[in-house]
Amino acid sequence: MAFNILISDPLSEDGIYPLRQAEGFNIVIETNLSPEELGERIGEFDALLVRSQTQVTREIIEKGTRLKIIGRAGVGVDNIDLPAATERGIIVVNAPDGNTNSAAEHTVAMLMSLARNIPQAFHALKNQKWDRKAFIGVELKNKTLGVVGLGRIGAEVATRAKGQRMNVIAYDPFLTPEKAEKLGVQFGTIDEVIRAADFITVHTPLLKETRHLINKEAFEKMKDGVQIINCARGGIIDEDALYNAIVEGKVAGAALDVFEEEPFLDHKLLTLPQVIATPHLGASTVEAQEIVAVDVSYDVVSFLQGGVVKNPVNLPSVPKDIMTKIEPYFNLVEKLGSF
């Protein structure tokens, strides 16, 4: 049986090698499709592979009459309408491990650049201004880093921060004092973290519960002169509240890689000299792009060939031979539930 695979965002060619090698897979690479163009084409395909650029909306999913699986080459799936996919029986897979190291390294690079005003000093020097006094920074040693979200990336950042001899206090809804002790970090509630930290970095997914988690009220609880890093998801930090906190002098600086709306070009935050920013580069390394594409490609191949997937997001993955045996029981349960 032949399968049509659409890749609508740029993926590493080495990363899609598993798709190239699979028998009966017709791969179409069409990047920069408009939503209208994607809607017109999606009905031809059994699988869709995306990064963060393509917005897989309910409308797109409903037009994907052949769609069986959507692969997100990366961690976050907020650009995919999971409820719509689930309703139509379309499995969504991601690659939660592939960009962990790259994202953690980028976060630490932003942390150090923020502490030492490196981008601002470089910009001044490029403009032929030699001004050492204007860019006096602070050491990280003995400062407290607050980590909000201690998953894969947050834990990696914490480990690296400890290597800089920082004190680390962390909050995560799934973090226990025992696990915190094992990782060598201090356990805290979110209030304790944001009150204690000299630097705060966020590493949560973007959910209803985490949207604007760092807001006006949170800034008011922080130390004067706190510095903020977000290399996770735009929307976790209330950007307007952050702007006001910087202007008012509560926040000394911010390093941002992600934004509520991208591309992020004309927001007032970018007018502030205390803000450094990059265009969503956390996972933009050669290594990470290859790893996440490989992971998702293997899952797509396995699923379409009747196997199991490694990283399902919205549905349990069951092999066809087992599903054949248990499917009658699903039907029985549905009928019993109607009485």
pTM: 0.82
**Residue 308 pLDDT class (50, 70, 90 cuts):** confident
Point out the catalytic residue in the list 41, 233, 239, 290. 233
Gap between the Cα atoms of 153 and 243, Å rounded: 26
**Residue 78 pLDDT class (50, 70, 90 cuts):** confident
Reply yes or no on whether 262 is catalytic: yes
Gap between the Cα atoms of 144 and 226, Å rounded: 10
Q: Would you give the DSSP letter of residue 226?
A: E
The correct CATH number of 100-277 out of 3.30.70.20, 3.40.50.1980, 3.40.640.10, 3.40.50.720 is 3.40.50.720
Range scoring the smallest mean pLDDT among 175-189, 193-207, 310-324: 310-324
Amino acid (one-letter) located at 40: E
Point out the catalytic residue in the list 40, 181, 220, 262. 262
The pLDDT, as a whole number, for residue 95 is 93
Q: Which residue has the tokens 């049986």?
A: 1
The pLDDT, as a whole number, for residue 263 is 87
Give the model confidence (pLDDT) of 126-169 as tens digits: 999 999 999 999 999 999 999 999 999 999 999 999 999 999 99
Any idea which fold 3-98+286-326 has?
A: Rossmann fold (3.40.50)
Is 330 a residue whose pLDDT tops 90?
Answer: no
Asked whether the beta carbons of 171 and 190 are under 8 A apart, the reply is: yes
Give the model confidence (pLDDT) of 82-101 as tens digits: 999 999 999 999 998 899 99
Reply yes or no on whether 203 is catalytic: no
Reply yes or no on whether 195 is catalytic: no
Q: Strand, coil or helix: what is 47?
A: strand
Q: Where are the domains of the chain?
A: 3-98+286-326, 100-277
Asked whether the beta carbons of 158 and 170 are under 8 A apart, the reply is: yes
Is 317 a residue whose pLDDT tops 60?
Answer: no
